[in-house]
Amino acid sequence: MSDTSKVVFGRRGFLKGLSIAPLAFSPLVTASRAMANNGVKPRLVVIALAHGLGGRDCATGTETNFTFKPWLSPLNPIKKHVTLIDGLMGAWWGNAHSSSYAHLLTGNNDPNAKTKTGKYSSLPRNPSIDVLLEKALGQGVLPVQRLNVGKGTAVGSFYKSICYNENLKPLDMLGAVDTNNLLLKNLTNSNSNTAAQNLALKRKHILDELNKDIIALRGRISPAERNKLDQHLDAIKQSVVNLGLNGGVSTGNACVKPQPFTQSGSPHEFYLDQQLKHLKTIFSCNLTQLAVMWVPEGGASSGIATVPFPWKDSTGANRKGIIKCGKNSFHTCVAHYNGVPDMELCYKGSVQWFLGKIAKFAQELDQITEANGKTMLENTIIVLTGEVGSGQHEVIRKPYILIGGSGAPKMRTGRYIKPASRTLPHSGAKKTWTTPDGKYDYIGKTPVSSFSELDLLLELSEIMGVPGGLKNFGMSYMINTKAKIGLT
């Protein structure tokens, strides 16, 4: 066998071999446009809101002719881009908070974890979908961006984490300050200062020197490997431009370097706004296909309790912010409304405020046209969810809101999907469902959805480019093997 036939290229190893990795790869910035020569790829961002999206029965009407309930009204301007699923079966073990965090993106949590470990209330049994999609679509080339709505980075814990790696360890979620600093560090503008311009020239010189070696190498390899090499080089050229390694960023007017910021007003609202801006930058500069953002309740001095969101009480009077009570917490005074009308109206007012922010973000993405002629919103699937469906621990029929996806993902949007109910296998008058994880008594509960969160995750993985969807993922007994939700 000749030396020529032994030269075989893989994208990740190739980039590292050219020493571009130290220049381009960081916890946030990467050469994700290595996929660019295959056209615009679908993007997926999951945004999880603590205490959910307001509960089930969130619209009326038919699949294509429907009306949002009041707390979803901010979605009206982007209704044609919305797929509302009302709703999906989630995890019910434990108190439906901690257990559902672990289940949300893994579809597989161990309800007996605390008994086994004596410490944690719930543990996943497989990695989260973001980790598995990253691996399936090109690990090291398309790193997931995991953001937290807060000033600081949320350190992964087994109590309130939603992303887990292949070792089933919880992953950190970058706070707004760290996200901003990384973008400022790794994205350069053409009007950068002298030091930055010198660094760009140095990097360009390195690339020029590498290019000389590559030209010599092309003459030693077979036509098939030469074609693969050229594809990798095209990807690198695009990445060099995207990442500013040639002295500037040029992926269209949408890729704009963020500005340093100083927090003002409500911390929760400020950092939510900042992280949505960062998501726009991350997508506009082609830095990833995959992102997850966690929106926690936060503390009394930093969370949703600091936001003067508007709402109307049961008398029709205009109110602002959370209802005050002894503990003065959103969790106790609002989310767990327990049939108290004003508490429920306050809770749904907070959801309405949040969806207003998301709708504005979606409209901004819809103003950016991409190479396939579709808008960034149409090429992106925004999945809105929560660890529970409402503050009442709704887990049997959790609402899900999907925005975008009619472009590269080829989804059918502008739809209201209300899955039929199903009767779970049971024994006895109490309708106790015996599962491999134990018994669950669902008598008197909301009619169980015919689809689960796991069904949605599997269908999304297929849309994102995994043939047939992820395998060996989630609790198999929760999968609907007879039908799909039907997003495409």
Same domain, 219 and 330: no
Average pLDDT over residues 322-347: 86
| pLDDT at residue 14 in the model | 46
Same domain, 137 and 152: yes
Domain harbouring 79, CATH code: 3.40.720.10
Same domain, 457 and 352: yes
| pLDDT at residue 31 in the model | 37
Same domain, 73 and 169: yes
Backbone torsions φ then ψ of 413, nearest 5 degrees: -110, 180
Helix (H, G, I), strand (E, B), or coil: what is residue 382? strand
Q: Is residue 261, in this structure, part of any structural domain at all?
A: no
Q: Which domain holds residue 134?
A: 31-187+267-478
Same domain, 229 and 204: yes
Tell me: the pLDDT tens digits for 60-105? 999 999 999 999 999 999 999 999 999 898 866 555 566 678 888 9
Using CB atoms within 10 Å of the CB of residue 204, give its burial: 0 to 12 exposed, 13 to 18 middle, 19+ buried: middle
Same domain, 7 and 63: no
| pLDDT at residue 251 in the model | 41
Same domain, 289 and 434: yes
| pLDDT at residue 232 in the model | 67
Tell me: the pLDDT tens digits for 177-213? 999 998 888 776 543 444 445 555 555 666 666 677 7
Q: Is residue 253, in this structure, part of any structural domain at all?
A: no
Identity (one letter) of the amino acid at 450?
Answer: S
Q: Is residue 230, in this structure, part of any structural domain at all?
A: yes
Tell me: the pLDDT tens digits for 97-155? 666 788 889 998 887 777 677 777 778 899 999 999 998 887 544 578 999 999 988 87
Instruction: Please give the model's pTM, rounded to 2 decimal places.
Output: 0.82
Same domain, 85 and 197: no
Q: Is residue 154, in this structure, part of any structural domain at all?
A: yes
Output the CA–CA distances (angstroms, integers) from residue 70 to 349, 350, 386, in the order listed: 9, 12, 19
Q: Is residue 172, in this structure, part of any structural domain at all?
A: yes
| Weakest-pLDDT range from 52-66, 183-197, 401-415 | 183-197
- Confidence at 409, pLDDT banded by 50, 70, 90: very high
Considering its fold, how many domains does the chain have in total?
A: 2
Same domain, 15 and 73: no
Same domain, 11 and 133: no
Q: Is residue 99, in this structure, part of any structural domain at all?
A: yes
**In which region does residue 169 sit, left (phi positive, over 0), alpha (psi from -120 to 50) or beta (all else)?**
beta
| pLDDT at residue 306 in the model | 93
Q: Is residue 256, in this structure, part of any structural domain at all?
A: no
Query: 377-406: string of b/e by CB count within 10 Å (b at 16+)?
Result: bbbbbbbbbbbbbbbbbbbbbbbbbbbbbb
Same domain, 310 and 372: yes
Q: Is residue 260, in this structure, part of any structural domain at all?
A: no
Helices 194-218 & 223-242, crossing angle to 10 degrees? 170
Spatial distance between the Cα atoms of 312 and 322, rounded to a whole number of angstroms: 12
Same domain, 198 and 152: no
Which position has the higher pLDDT, 26 or 442?
A: 442
